[in-house]
Structure 1
Amino acid sequence: MKTYSASLFAATLAATFAQSWAGEHEWKPQLDQVYAPEKVMEMIFDTWNKYEANLDFDQGFQKTQPVWGIATTPLFNDLMRTNSFDYPHFSWETNVNFVHYAGSWAVPVKYDLSDEDLEELLGSVNGVFFAGGATPLVDMETGETSLFYRTAQRIWNYMKKQKDEKGIDWPIFGICQGFEVIHYLANDDDKKTLSQNTIYLDSRPMSVKVADLHLNSELFAPFPEDLLKQMREEPLLYHAHDWVIAVDTYEKRRQLRDFFKILATDTHDDLEFVIAVEGNHYPVTGVMFHPETQNRVIVGFPESPADVSIKGKVNNKVTDQINYYFSEHLLRQGLKSLSTHRFKQPEFGARMEWMNSSIGFTKFGQ
């Protein structure tokens, strides 16, 4: 597996686009995206700065820009581990860029933080994002939970406590395995929460279960109606998973129905499963598909020699917009706790940043 450090990834990506504009590649990127073309390089270098530079917590940037915590995982496949890439923590590059896209910032939430550090970090960030991956969660036979999942439980309990005791909407967002995580947590860690249903390298439409989705949901509120129409009718949503949450499981488990509102589903091999939800009372949202990887600037262009990880993805102007509007959802949700959650100690904030943490990154194979 080819890997990059955070800074090398940004520099390499910037160089790739600079070369393509100079005509050094046969393929030509089409930069007609949500953002203006002249902003593309600015965005790339801004992302690089967010990795490399220490956030200036003294200047109060968090008064206007939320900070999302991204839950790290262990390396979840032996093939990921090499002599030069062997880290205790891991996150996809796209997770960070996805959070940054609409204006939020991101810091890691390491799964093995001490109780003291985790409590302070949760009181400093404006929400937590559980991303995709293949980390063990709940043993299907014994029900035993992993360290990563036990940390997720603590984050979940913090979210509920903020809402129940203080009336604060402190959000959680999940994608793919993160979607599984929030369902396990809402379903009392039941090992029967998931159903096996494998889909890889496949972009698909969604079946909407709520009328006027952009008006009647928090998750899809930023989306224009014409874009939602395309998401319903065209194969745009990228799936890569072995497990799903079946609609039938919702019908059997009242706690899932009480906690979540189903916004959209899909059907594969005669099994209807849930692909988008939001909490009825708590600020928890999530999707089964992968909007965070479907951005041509961040991930790659179809037929690009620079990246082989985009097979099965549409990655066009429309998916760029989908990527952006989900990122805007994170921005909107994170803004809700700006007045109550902030890094109060600059030294602690600096210690929690990406470049001061032993975290491996890769953008390949996602």
Structure 2
Amino acid sequence: MLSPQSQLLERNLELFDTGNWLFINPSDAYFADLLDNKPATFLHQYFDIFAESVRVIPSCEFDSRDVSQREHGFCIEQKASGHMHWFSPFIPAEKTFSDILIFMPKSKPHTQMLLAMAHSALSEGGRIHIVGENKGGIKSVAKLTDKIGPNQKIDSARHCSLVTVMPETTGPAFSPADWLTESEYEVDELTWEVVSLPGVFSHGELDEGTRMLLKKGSDRLRGRVLDFACGAGVIGAYLLKRFPHLDMQLLDVSALAIYCAARTLNANQQSACLLAANGLHGIERNFSHIVTNPPFHTGVKTDYTITRRFIEDSKQRLASGGTLQMVANRFLPYPGLLGDVFPQTHTVAQDTRFSLYMSTTG
């Protein structure tokens, strides 16, 4: 089903008849079908839409040392229906386009980073286009782009707007290092480094739910441990500092998160396996423990279907006697969802905002 942003673009398909187009973070996998027989490239920073678009890659695995050594991280390329799809945190170096269309993210700093990246990848006389929901910040585009060039609203429908920016000069070279934030965190007198970027969960700060998980979570960890929805690698790097013997694996849907997790591990002289996947779909290996501060409570609505699927998949991926340790907003009905799947679940810690649950396979 086309998202509201894609429905707006469907009204303006003639815009894509000419030019060398790059689309950044399409909000669904079906917009590309509207561009049949039109050359186009898609940059996906989110693995779920990438995998659905190319329909052949259930998950990707990376070595954190390899990712951290490359300025632009990684780029997985896949052709589908005549289009090129990239799963990557950034536009590959030296690639240029006459037109770049950004599906506007919720985070303003993330939008600013995407605009700087797009500006640097434009050929001479190129244009930047932004499509977004009216409630999602699209009205602030004029302020965000005033240093790039004048803008013009092209269309508005489905509670979304499409804006075109005409840069007045060529954009400076884009360097991910200019956007990285390096922080030192401390929990129970143990300190470690965290490297983050705009668009990654809890950018530049230690989330209080994560702090609870690290302080109150089980210290009886062994074997292969999965940091699910790892973000910048906060949990995984802390656990490796505390338990260097662990076979730590970090998973996220976001290419930016995977890039930052690699940088975080490198900053702490650590290494681990990094996984890109849509939830646990496409992950065949088993784990002794799964630890997570999942993103299911973000946004206006909470999708309990996604939560239940993750809980069910977690039980399937845990070895006998394995544990799922999950911190979440206290008001969410996770004890019931966990109790429906796991034979044993109890609340480890709780405050006015968060609860930490531990479920055991038995």
Query: TM-score band, normalised by the shorter chain?
Result: under 0.3
Larger Rg: 2
Higher helix share: 1
Greater relative contact order, per chain length (Cα 8 Å cut-off, separation 6+): 1
* Bigger proportion of residues as strand: 2
TM-score (norm 1): 0.24
